[in-house]
Chain A
Amino acid sequence: MESVFPLLEPLLPRVQKPIQYVGGELNSTVKDWDAVTVRWALMYPDAYEVGLPNQGVMILYELLNERPDALAERTYAVWPDLEALLREHGIPQFTVDGHRPVGAFDVLGVSFATELGYTNMLTALDLAGIPLSAADRGPQHPLVIAGGHAAFNPEPIAEFIDAAVLGDGEEAAGEITSLIAEWKDAGSPGGREEILYRLARSGGVYVPRFYDVDYLPDGRIQRVVPNRTGVPHRVHKRTVMDLDGWPYPKQPLVPLAESVHERMSVEIFRGCTRGCRFCQAGMITRPVRERSITGIGEMVQRGLDSTGFEEVGLLSLSSADHSEIADITRGLADRYEGTNTSLSLPSTRVDAFNVDLANELSRNGRRSGLTFAPEGGSERLRRVINKMVSREDLIRTVSTAYASGWRQVKLYFMCGLPTETDEDVLEIASMAHEVIRAGRAAAGTRDVRCTVSIGAFVPKPHTPFQWAAQAAPDVVDARLRKLRDAIQAERSLGRAIGFRYHDGQPSLVEGLLSRGDRRVAAVIRRVWADGARFDGWSEHFSYSRWMDAAAAVGVDVGWYTTRERGENEVLPWDHLDSGLDKEWLWADWQDALSEEEQDDCRWTPCFDCGVCPGMGTEIQVGPTGQTLLPMPTVRPALASSG
């Protein structure tokens, strides 16, 4: 397959940051097109600088390229300047590895971390010459398969995709590849319909065309049923149980262009048992599966050797919860002492232990900022969302942080949570004031800062809040204004407090796409045709364009967003199984409304969310009792010759 690079190259001097389109990253791979059977184009539907560090794409890219019968190349959303030039010169959407046309691949896998990438997928399909509607595609077109967290409700894009995979992709991508290889080797019998049927029948792939949706007269869904025999009534999410068996990425990609994460990441566990009711990631990635301390040590070492990064991030949804986190941080800090390698832990847990870990990781480095996420402004609201932190805990924790040399504390909150009132949000102001007062006392200096960062809450599928009414943008924006005024009301304290917020309008569109059904596709198609691109970027997002598009196609945005759902309503994603028991989710929603907390099942008995028995498993938690041994980190290659 010919490279389009000779056509692209003369255009590159005319676009912003051309380096993002040339490929050639360290650890990237271009395999022989004709030597393999199954060719994947993997897309992250956002700009290169955001998409390149994505772990999901990196893992699948490496795994698929390791197979002798497959190859994988990457493609990202092109910025509007290049999009215009590609259209003008008739150049298709291309991969950055071999600069091959995306339309020539067997599969286009699109990883959706957020629903705001939907319009970028349409741009890529259109530039690739792939019909937007899956129904219009022929044997020459790639299968378009969605993955990522947004794929847990792919109904709003059901029209545009051929299939979706829920959950972990490591095993699923391999199984899909094998099914396609077998089908192609047999001469592609039955065409597109047949391979999709085989994928659907395998049980782990959702093929929307094999399910019919019926609606009630009032617009709610009556039922979703398979229209082909042999297709499962519910499609289950995929879960990789042994993380040590999947130490990917082994050789992380190192971009030449600057990206949003200038570091190497190692996922230390998957899943979360904290049970924060707003958190879709925490719900849909259960159960907890830890990578062992030795497995983490090996990944860090191999990754640093193959990338040259100077920072390693220990990633997970709540990294301080790893059963051996203290040994991991101490072991890594010891091992890399004196090598100018820094380690970081996304710190959101509000307790002194978290500060100890952060201190260990910054032993010899600058202590600039620590981040905590109380999420809800009042203790009452934190009981509703099940993020139990008392005000005293928070003040004690930040005092410890300031006393150990940290100068800035960031506090993350959400606005528009279920049952929230103005008073709940205004408590954030007095809490921030107290943080500064306590911080000045603990640090012995007035030079301490606190940043309050707050965004609008979006109810997500497969969470206890999936039934909740989303707060309207004007409600959110009014509360944020009141909060800002309250923070600044105490002038001497307010000056030390930064206030960052995201207004409510983009969140409403995200809400429409998150809990939408198949009828929302018309809005996406219309708004894309009207020019919507890069909806996750405030400089490109247009609220009025979305609202106009919804009105033009007769979709009531309020019905999908600010309407509370009833217990018996069929939700658009009910036929997609995240492992969570719907009755348990409803019970947890009722507990939320009566302000009752739920314990963390990592430390307390099972509360029957449904995941473990459904998957015949249990949470996979250490400790292993292993430790990290010191390791010679200076290689002898360049030692002086004499």
Chain B
Amino acid sequence: MARQPEGPPPPPVAQRVRMRYAKRGRLRFTSHRDFTRAFERALRRAGVPMAYSAGFTPHPKISYVGSVAPTGVASEAEYLEVGLASVVDVDRLRAVLDVSLPDGLDLLECVEVRAGSDALADRIDASAWRIELPGVAPADLAAALDTFLATERVEVERLTKAGRKQLDARAAVVGASASAAPGQDGCAILELVVRQVTPAVRPDDVFAALRAVAGLVPAVPPRAIRLAQGRLDGGGRLTDPLAPDRAADIPATEAAGGPRPEGQAVPSVGSTPSG
């Protein structure tokens, strides 16, 4: 007879909280796994009353939503959802937990999830990126972008743990623009809106595509930052995925009943078991 944990099962989830966090500065080099460990330790230091899964190795209830910024890429818009065993004040939670996280992993927003709310994952299908390209003239970037956008399909190769993988870096790009970095000579800024597809198209893949179609090769590695994640609206802009939760008076049925674009995969990465 296999052993069972003694005592009562863990308390159920009393409150769900959605969070937006940033990965900044040198801590942009944290991988997603690094972040998950740091976040769980911050929760424990802050004394957050987490709900846990049952069993011999209980896990705190944390789900990572949307796509996860790649290692080395900064972000102002990473999302997760936690389940708590007791109800807390979310503003206080944000303040305490932010202090508990290392500088550079910053908790920006905490909102309570109301009963009947739709899944956060359904509110995210694209990312907005801003990429600095030091040493690249804005005009050269603009010209390369024109060529890229005029091409229907750009195959690029990515080295993964499983080996080399081919993917199309063009179709997922919904919008792209080139500009000059204010006050910095010879530094172009690339702004991208990219649909979250499988396999994911990352800023690196777009650079590889720009090199392939227009021979654009930055002398130093570009610095990318994700500015936002959300749903693409008709105008190619992203809606704020936490807005429905923040607007306290939205009836639950209306929020849950919105249309969902078809044929788009919305990857949910690294969610923890909820059983």
Contacts and interface: CB of A to CB of B under 8 A. Distances in A.
A638 B48 contact: yes
A474 B221 CA distance: 50
Contacts of A256: 27, 30, 34, 37-38, 102
B6 A364 contact: yes
B270 interface: no
A511 to B, nearest CB: 37
Given A19-B29, A258-B33, A634-B47, 9 more contacts: A19-B30, A24-B26, A254-B38, A256-B30, A306-B45, A308-B45, A365-B5, A638-B89, A639-B86
A309 B41 CA distance: 6
A24 B89 contact: no
Interface stretch (A4-12, A50-58, A129-137): A4-12
Contacts of A340: 52, 58, 60
A9 B5 contact: no
A262 B41 CA distance: 11
Nearest to A640: B87
Nearest to A307: B41
B72 A640 contact: no
28 contacts: A10-B221, A13-B72, A13-B221, A14-B221, A24-B27, A24-B102, A256-B37, A256-B38, A256-B102, A258-B33, A307-B45, A308-B45, A340-B60, A363-B6, A364-B6, A364-B56, A635-B47, A637-B96, A638-B46, A638-B47, A638-B48, A638-B93, A638-B96, A639-B86, A640-B87, A640-B89, A641-B89, A641-B92
B87 to A, nearest CB: 5
Contact of B220 (A10, A254, A308, A367): A10
Which range contains the number of B residues in contact with the other chain?
35 or more
Interface of B: 3, 5-7, 26-27, 29-31, 33-34, 37-38, 40-49, 52, 56-58, 60, 71-72, 86-89, 92-93, 96, 100, 102-104, 220-221
A569 interface: no
A14 B72 CA distance: 10
Nearest to B220: A10
Contacts of A262: 37
A18 B72 contact: yes
A25 B220 CA distance: 27
Contacts of B72: 12-13, 18
A24 B34 contact: no
Contacts of A491: none
A404 to B, nearest CB: 9
Contact of B26 (A22, A308, A641): A22
A640 B86 contact: yes
Contacts of A304: 44
B231 to A, nearest CB: 30
Interface residues of A, number: 42
A641 B34 CA distance: 32
A31 to B, nearest CB: 16
A179 interface: no
A639 B96 CA distance: 12
Contact of B42 (A22, A24, A308): A308
Contacts of B103: 24
A405 interface: yes
Nearest to B2: A405
Contact of A254 (B3, B41, B52, B93): B41
A257 interface: yes
A634 B49 contact: yes
B45 A305 contact: yes
A640 B47 CA distance: 12
A58 B40 CA distance: 22
Contacts of B34: 19, 256-258
B88 A640 contact: yes
Contacts of A25: 102
B42 to A, nearest CB: 6
Interface string A292-330: 000000000000111111100000000000000000000
Interface string A615-642: 0000000000000000000110111110
B31 A19 contact: yes
The residue among A25, A338, A640 with the most chain B CB atoms within 10 A of its own CB is A640
